[in-house]
Structure 1
Amino acid sequence: MKKLLIWPVLFVSMLLSSCENYLDVESYDRVSDENTIFDKASAETAVRGAYRSLASLNYSSGFQNTILQSGGDVRSLNNAQTDLNVINYDLRSDIGFLSTYWANFYNTINRANHVIEKVPLVNDVKLTPDLKNQLLGEAYFIRAYSYFDLARVFGNVQIFLTPTKVVADKLGVSKSSQAEVYAQVLADLNQAETFLPATVVRNRATKFTVYALRARLHLYQSNWEAAENDVNRILANTSYQLVKPFSLAAGTPESVLEFSYSVTDLNTGYGLWNTSNRQLEPKAVIHNLLNDPTVGGDRKILSVQNALGQFIGGIYPTNTSAAYGIRTAELYLIRAEARAKKANPDVAGALSDLNAVRARANVPNSTALTPEEITLAIENERRVEFALEPHRWFDIVRTGRAPVVYNLNDPNKYIFPIPAGEILADPALTQNPGYGN
């Protein structure tokens, strides 16, 4: 009788664990349980798994689809109800993809937490102190990257800095404010900086990728001087340059952080643009901007018109093409914005950075003169430079321009609702304002 009672309990426990997506071990490079990191090979495998999780999270077709449509320059060819919810800024907490994004963020964070906790305890002569530090630095960076995106998508969220080993580990933790989450991101980046080497690697974290993500974070925090300083650190290295003519090619000086794919790990974003059943296309407004010689210049390759009059997005040539987390062009535009907005604006420096990006695309210099004009010109430049990358929505929200650009006056809509299932599962988790329960 005792055995008969135990089996239902075990079954329910297994269901809960699978729903949480925290203890899944799907393949050799997806390591998260407490016993799997025990030597050099398993430590490296765990970090590879965290990278794969980060890549699938930030550049999955679903996440890109949502953020690109929110940005207003890309439209869905599916006309599904959820697409209408996105473009009308009328998200509901019971929409399935929100649960997917939430779970993916925390799954990636949990993988990083396992590395951070367990790698220092590994006793393997093959795991040298330098390699151990590198793996730890990469885990801190991956956690920082994940929390940064989690906070800008959902706002106030829970912070977990230790591994979730059973479902109960994640219950009862109150949300932290978005500012507190950003502070944790900064702390993780600062910690990562102490561990990582100052080498140039395009698809893994180094000190330079730390500086780049930290500069982006400083922009969100209106910390202009710090943003400028971090960009200066990167651009002082000639390995990071604007590539002319404009091209999105992996492994070039244009790439600061890219996510790599292969025939066994395909870039799902490819299917958004380049298959017979493609899901997205650029709207006429962004197509026309990209194909205007005075605006888009060489960036016209991002949107071409076929014989049927359809607009085809040109960001991923193949299903193994790299996706860009951070590009050198973004660094120039971050520094330009920081220089224009700091207490004593550096107008000449801001224009120099803005025009460097424009010159690389064979576009005439900007005619902006004042800090305010330059700031708007930078916003417009980011729009075309990152036309098919998930930046536009976040840019408009962080600068407070959503009422003007999107006619969106309800600040509650600037972040997404927390998935209803998460609210039901954890009484300590409260819904974001404006979304009910």
Structure 2
Amino acid sequence: MLNIADTLHGWCRQARPFALATVIQVSGSAPLSPGTSLAVNADGEAVGSVSGGCVEGAVYELCTQVLQDDGPPARARFGYSDDDAFAVGLTCGGEIDVLVQRVEPTDQPHLTAALDEVTHGRPAAVAQVVDGHEDLIGRTLSLLGDGSTYDGTLGSENEDRAVVARARAHLRAGRTAVVDAGGDPDTCPAKLTVLVHVQAAPPRMLIFGAVDFAAALSQAASFLGYRVTVCDARPVFATAARFPHADEVVVDWPHRYLAATDVDARTVVCVLTHDPKFDIPLLTLALSLPVAYIGAMGSRRTHEDRNRRLRETGVTTAQLTRLNSPIGLDLGAHTPEETAISITAEIIAHTHQATGLPLSHGTGPIHRSDSTGPIPARSARSARSAV
């Protein structure tokens, strides 16, 4: 639902009931992931998507029915349909399960608060029961900030506690996912399946080296939703005017800045300096940190010399396997803009454990549903789409 958070927030503030259709399970090749939603209000206005267009009409009708009847949540499955020209189905060959429920904002004030956090770019999570006891399906509770506080209830303290524990973990990881909670006879006998919708703080991209390639890369990374930092020890080059798409420009020795700043399992480190006095201490430190991706620019000769120097500092062979060098995919890139695409393409492939090969060279599903990496979705405001 967070893909349409801005519209839902407006409806909630106006206390306008709406029907919410959410993708809760995906199998095979499907265009959108669990957590993606379409919503319809009482005036027939619709926002969002659950399939990229394949089954939107059928889901809209189901939303209208649930909204008018004020009935219990309904679940529908859509799969591949090709034999009947008038049949409703996905053309991509996969299957999606969609949960449709009526949402009465006055009954769930915590949802308005969570959506407010999301629309302002602050971390939040909404846990939505999608399977379990029929009286609980569709119920939600919200976690705000770092997950230290939550609001709403699923019915009992035990159920709330079990779901909150799972939701907090996914909020910290910045990952929307379907999880099981409860099922422990001593703490929470009721077993629930919960879809945890997550809006995490943007993952960071740390770009070291205030060069032309960094300017193009910061723009591409900002488009992908990263919070971008450009760092260089040379103040004449590290200026905000040269990097308008960066969230911050820092003048400091790269390894010193990296040692002092916060990183996590979603952080991406791109080293574009290809100068040993900067690269070696920086990469020696970076390769010891639990970040998502480390890449370094340079020629094949620079790469070999860099690896030799890193080994001399005590970097192990296992650590060196984490270094993507020379950075980027082989796209034949020459310009800074082309190189930025090459680098971000490699980061995306690395994140999703994909091959980076042309899709025409592969077999099997195009859309992967098992990604757990840090590539963020676009903001709720920019990701909107109408039916």
Shorter-chain TM-score category? Answer: under 0.3
Larger helix share, 1 or 2: 1
With structure 1 as the length reference, what TM-score do the two structures score? 0.24
**Structure with the greater alpha carbon radius of gyration:** 2
Query: Larger RCO: Structure 1 or Structure 2 (Cα < 8 Å, ≥ 6 residues apart)?
Result: 1
